[in-house]
Amino acid sequence: MESNERHRVVWDACLRIIEQLVEPAQFTSWFKPVRPVSLEENTLTVEVPSDFFRDFLEDSFLDVIKSTLKRVIGSDAKLYYLVPPVKGQDPMKVPSRPGNAPVNRSVSVGTFAPSGNPGAVVYPGIATLRINPRLNPAYCFENLVQGECNNLGINAGISISAAPGRTAFNPLFIFGGPGLGKTHLAQAVGLAIKKNYPDLVVLYVTGNEFKTQYVDAAFVSNKLTDFMAYYCRIDVLIVDDIQDLVGQGSRHAIFNIFNQLHQAGKQLIFTSDRSPVELQDFEERLLSRFKWGLSVELGAPDYETRLKMLRSRTEREGAEVPEDVLEFLANNIRTNFRELEGALISVLAHATLTRQPVSVELARKVTEKIVGKPQTALNMDKVQKVVCDYFNITRDSMLSKSRKRQFVQARQIAMYLCRSLLTNCSLSTIGAEIGGKDHATVLHACTTVNDLMQTDKVFRKYVDDIRAVLNPGN
């Protein structure tokens, strides 16, 4: 058999097996469009229509594909996907998961016997480790859509990637609500640093993972010294969701690691769902270090940014989506990038599986299942209107710099209700919208309202009455 025909014969053999393992409609929709390209030793390359097509194959049929390839090619079989170019882009060759993730160089870490803390004359052993950066190649700057909501964060991240540890942005503290791109931005900085400085050791870890590692090292394996030595060899440390780092022991550990790395000129990046001033139960000495560099808030994307993101993702998927469908999605899903991206993928999946054209009607049906039927959304404008109506004052009066008790009280109640009812709004966002105040003023207002509700029954009735109008039935 000629070598240039082997890939077709092998793939045909795979298809005969797969056809017996999946539903006929699934086989027709997801396997017939796949085209074999080449077979080199044990590596089969196939072409798929788009990134979305590839992702769906691996999400839904990974076990079937792996077992079939092992039967036909052997236990060491490998699969590569070739995604055709979109709008003049070069073809992108993507390996089967986990993907072309960056790797770190090996590092030597001092290790101690698990008998306890070493004395002054105890010499450590040396362990050579290759630390997995744990970075997702998809979370790169090229796939991050820039807008007013994240402009400062992206520009700061690009500056850091050019000179990690040598800018004023150390640490970089990224905060904002869920789905606004904190993890993507943090990992994009890590990926760019690995591209610019391949020898630097980068590590991405979540706050919850760090806590678990600390507990294991301190109380299970009795290797706390090794744990600290490991982290102090990192050149770029990214800790995602730092608010999940609970427990005084783990926070004390991150405090000491922070000091060691920062003094050595290493780069630190943290993300959180709230600003440093809002973090609960963190020691002031740790909070002050979070504030040393640059704190960046990621806001909700505006319409233009949402539409830009949808166009970018559609192009990456190699899909054709009518402009009116993209505009419909951008108009109806406003909270964050995650829900917006999920809606687009759901529309594409429904269209592919049901063989329907991508239309506004299909998008409407899909989005109703995700975010419910359109309704009058509770937002900061509505909170301010209801507060002003309740106290019979104008919005301009409430937002003015007047120190009249009536206006100050209304303004503070509006801030408090925005904070308690609108979970995606940060203190900074609320302050900017209500009188152009900073986050400290909003925090003070929320504390004042909460204290008055505990001591003043009339004041509490004001707040409860307004809350009942804004959030009936709860």
pLDDT in tens, the chain (474 residues): 445 688 889 999 999 999 888 888 788 878 888 999 988 888 899 988 877 778 778 777 888 898 899 999 988 888 888 877 544 434 434 344 444 667 776 665 544 444 444 333 333 444 556 788 889 988 999 888 888 888 889 999 999 999 999 998 999 999 988 888 999 999 999 999 999 999 999 999 999 999 999 998 888 888 888 889 889 889 999 999 999 888 888 999 999 999 999 999 999 999 998 888 888 778 888 899 998 999 998 888 888 888 888 988 888 777 788 888 898 888 888 778 888 888 888 888 888 877 888 888 888 888 876 665 544 457 888 899 999 999 999 988 898 888 888 899 999 999 999 888 875 667 777 888 888 887 788 888 988 998 888 888 889 889 989 988 887 655
Rounded CA separation 109/119 (Å): 18
Identity of the amino acid at 339: E
Rounded CA separation 430/370 (Å): 26
Rounded CA separation 429/299 (Å): 8
**Would you state the pLDDT for residue 50?**
75
Task: Give kind and range of the element (H or E) at residue 43.
Answer: strand 43-47
Residue in 52, 51, 84 with CA at minimum distance from that of residue 349: 52
Pair type for strands 294-298 and 172-176: parallel
**Would you state the pLDDT for residue 115?**
41
Q: Global pTM? A: 0.61
Residue in 254, 199, 191, 264 with CA at minimum distance from that of residue 228: 254
Backbone conformation region of residue 165, classed left if phi is above 0, alpha if psi is from -120 to 50, else beta:
left
Identity of the amino acid at 152: L
Rounded CA separation 300/351 (Å): 28
Rounded CA separation 474/469 (Å): 10
Residue 473: phi, psi to the nearest 5? 85, 0
Task: Give kind and range of the element (H or E) at residue 470.
Answer: helix 457-470
Q: Is 109 helix (H, G, I), strand (E, B) or coil?
A: strand
217-255 as b/e, with b when 16 or more CB fall inside 10 Å?
A: bbeeebbbbbbbbbbbbbbbbbbbbbbbbeeeebbebbe
- Specify the residue for token string 């000491």: 256
Spell out the alpha helix ranges (H) of 89-199. Answer: 151-162, 182-196
